[in-house]
Homo-oligomer: A and B are copies of this chain.
Amino acid sequence: MNNFEFKNPTKIIFGKDTIHKITEEIPSDAKILMLYGGGSIKKNGVYEQVKTALAKADVVEFGGIPANPEYAVLMDALKVIKEENITYLLAVGGGSVIDGTKFLSAAAVYEGEEPWDFVRKREPIQKGMPFGTVLTLPATGSEMNSGTVISRKETQEKLAFGGPALFPQFSVLDPQVITSIPERQLVNGITDAFTHVLEQYMTYPAGGLLQDRFAESILQTLIEIAPRVIKDPSDYEAAANFMWSCTMALNGLIQQGVPGDWAVHMMGHELTAMYGIDHARTLAVVAPSHYKYNFEAKKEKLAQYGERVWNITEGSIDDKAYAAIEKTEAFFKGLGIDTKLSDYTSDYEGTAEKIAQRFTDRGWKGLGERQALTPQDAEKIVKMAY
C-alpha cells in the first residue's frame, strides 16, 4: 500500500424528501447563483423544491449548462457572478452542472485574465467561492469530490482539473430524482460509475486489500441494481444503492494507497470532444480494448475481478482474466451500451492517429498506472476499439 493523505469534507444529505434541507446549509445572507442544465429540473419537480426552500433567499438563476460543460457558456455565467455580486453557488443538476459550478467557483476568485489558463495548467485549485449541490443524476461522483472536467468547443478540448477548494460544502442526494431520468441517462450513469471503479482498481496488485474489496463491493452493487433501476426507477432501494454507489465510486476513498489508471478516461474524453459521444459510452468503447491491449500488465487484477465480481472459478489466471473482460463488455451491452466506435460514427478512420497526435502535442508521454503508455499505445488501443 502506498502512503496517502485523505480528507473529504463534503457533507452528504441523503434520502427521501431532503432537498428542503439546503436552507440549513447556505448562509442566510448569501447572494446565490442557482445553476442548472437544459431545464429537466423544471419538469421533475426539483426546480420547484429548490425554489420553495430558497423562497426567502436572494437567488439569481443561470440555466442552460450543457452536457460536457462548455467554457463559453460558463464564461457567460461568470459575468453574472461578477455583475450580481454573487457569494454562493448552488448547482442543481448532474455531473455537468456540478463540474461547471466547480469551474465557476475557481474562476470567481481567480485573479488572472483568462480562466482557461488555470484549466490548462492543472495546478491544484486552492481557493474558490463556496458552493453546494443538489444532485439530479447519479453518475460522476462530482457531488463528493474536488475534481471537474471542462470542455471548450473552440479548441475541441476536454480537460480535467481540481483541488482542495473544489469540494462541495454539501450535496443533497434524494434517490427519488431518478424516477424521471430517461433510460439512456440511467445506463450512462451506471456505466460511468462502473468504469470509475475500474480505473482505480484494474491496475496491478498493490497490497490494498481493503481498497480492492471496497471497489469490488461497488461493482457488485452496480451489477445487482442495474436491472432493477432500468426496470423500475421508482424502486427506491435500487435507486438509493445506485446513487450511493455512484458517489462512493469517485469520492476519493477507493483510490487511497493504490495506483490509478485513468487512461480509459483520457482516450474517452477525446472521443467525446471529437464526436460528441456520451461520456459513459466512450468509456465502454475504450475499456475492453484497453484491458485486452494491456492484458499482461493487468491480468492478475482482471482475474481477481473475474473471480470475486463475476464468480468465474474455472481456468488459469489468463482464462479468468480474459473471461472477465468479456463479462464486462457483455455487462455494458446488456445495458444497451454499444462498445465499438463504429457503432457511433461511420467517420472513424484516422481517429486513433488524431488522438495520438493530440497526446503528443500536449506532451503527454506516459498514461496509465505505470505511466508506461505512449501516444502510440493509445493509437493502437483506439484502433482496436473501432
Task: Write the nearest CB–CB distance from A113 to chain B, whole angstroms.
Answer: 32
Point out the residue from B5, B209, B217 that lies within 8 Å of A14, measured CB to CB.
B5
Point out the residue from B1, B7, B236, B240 that lies within 8 Å of A241, measured CB to CB.
B1
Task: Write the nearest CB–CB distance from A145 to chain B, whole angstroms.
Answer: 14
Binds B, one of A220-228, A282-290, A325-333: A220-228
Q: Which size bracket describes the interface of A in this complex?
A: 35 or more
Inter-subunit contact B209/A213 (CB<8 Å):
no
In the complex, A207→B2 CA distance in Å?
34
Inter-subunit contact A7/B6 (CB<8 Å):
no
Inter-subunit contact A15/B209 (CB<8 Å):
no
- Asked whether A8 is an interface residue with its Cβ less than 8 Å from the other chain, the reply is yes
| A3 CB contacts on chain B under 8 angstroms | 14-16, 18
Give the number of copies in the complex. Answer: 2
Which residue on chain B has the smallest CB distance to residue A224? B209
| A221 CB contacts on chain B under 8 angstroms | 209-210, 213
- Asked whether A10 is an interface residue with its Cβ less than 8 Å from the other chain, the reply is yes
| A15 CB contacts on chain B under 8 angstroms | 1-4, 257
A244-B257 CB under 8 A given contacts A6-B11, A14-B6, A15-B3: yes
In the complex, A217→B215 CA distance in Å?
10
In the complex, A213→B222 CA distance in Å?
12
In the complex, A12→B248 CA distance in Å?
17
- Asked whether A262 is an interface residue with its Cβ less than 8 Å from the other chain, the reply is no
Known: A3-B18, A217-B217. 18 other contacts (CB 8 A): A1-B15, A1-B237, A1-B241, A1-B244, A3-B14, A7-B10, A7-B11, A9-B9, A14-B257, A15-B257, A207-B237, A207-B241, A208-B241, A209-B241, A210-B218, A213-B218, A213-B221, A253-B253
